[in-house]
Amino acid sequence: MVRTFKDIELLERVKQLDSYKEIPDGYWLLGVRSKEDAPNKFDDKIYLFKGEEFIEVTSATTNPGTPTLKQFEKVNNDGAAVVKADEWYYKLWKYGKHNGKVEALLQLGSKIKVYRDTDKDVKSEEQGKLQEGYYGINFHPNTYNLDGVSGDSIGWWSAGCQVVNNLTKYKTMIRLLKTEKLVTYCLINEF
């Protein structure tokens, strides 16, 4: 699991990225990818900020699940989508329904950079072909029932999407995020 960071540490880190322009005024998300990268586990974190004010943090995954890594052809012949870390993706997501079923943020704004991992092991790596475009990299929970129970295995829930497994925190986040016209995302590696 990703170590605990102070807000100021995270803000200082994201301001050092080459793609940094500004901290958004409204709500935005910051993903932190774990160094550990335990296969098929929610070992990353996603932070919700409003401007420079920390609002919430939850466990999540920023990596595809093991089924996608091993059988990526079922999703995309180019390989499993691994979002490029240490990047800002300004105005990436718009509120909608993931697969038409659950409140989510959909990639209807800007392009995103992904590596296509094709080695079919259980590790999600920034290797292979780097692509930039619209790939349906969404932000959503690991269930279609927000009043149900979520599991602790990524499974097919992520083929590149940024996925939360804490439903209570997800509901708080999505309630606030849906007030934004477009939501910015920054993804960094644990440091």
Q: In this structure, are residues 141 and 177 in contact, taking their beta carbons and an 8 Å threshold?
A: no
CA-CA distance, 145 to 138, in Å (whole number)? 17
Residues of the chain below pLDDT 50: none
Confidence (pLDDT) at 114 = 98
The helix (run of H) or strand (run of E) holding residue 47 is strand 44-50
Confidence (pLDDT) at 73 = 95
HSE of 31, CA atoms in CB hemisphere, 13 A: 28
Confidence (pLDDT) at 152 = 87
Confidence (pLDDT) at 150 = 83
CA-CA distance, 11 to 185, in Å (whole number)? 13
List 115's β-bridge partners, or say none. Answer: 82, 130
Question: Among residues 72, 144, 69, which one has the least CA distance to residue 103?
Answer: 144
Q: Are strands 183-189 and 87-98 parallel, antiparallel or unpaired?
A: antiparallel
CA-CA distance, 72 to 66, in Å (whole number)? 9
Q: In this structure, are residues 69 and 121 in contact, taking their beta carbons and an 8 Å threshold?
A: yes
User: What is the reported pTM?
Assistant: 0.96
Q: What is the pLDDT of residues 151-190, one digit of tens each?
A: 889 999 999 999 999 999 999 999 999 999 999 999 999 9
Residue 187 phi/psi, 5° resolution?
-120, 130
Q: How many residues does the chain have?
A: 191
Burial class (CB in 10 A: 0-12, 13-18, 19+), 38: middle
CA-CA distance, 54 to 57, in Å (whole number)? 8
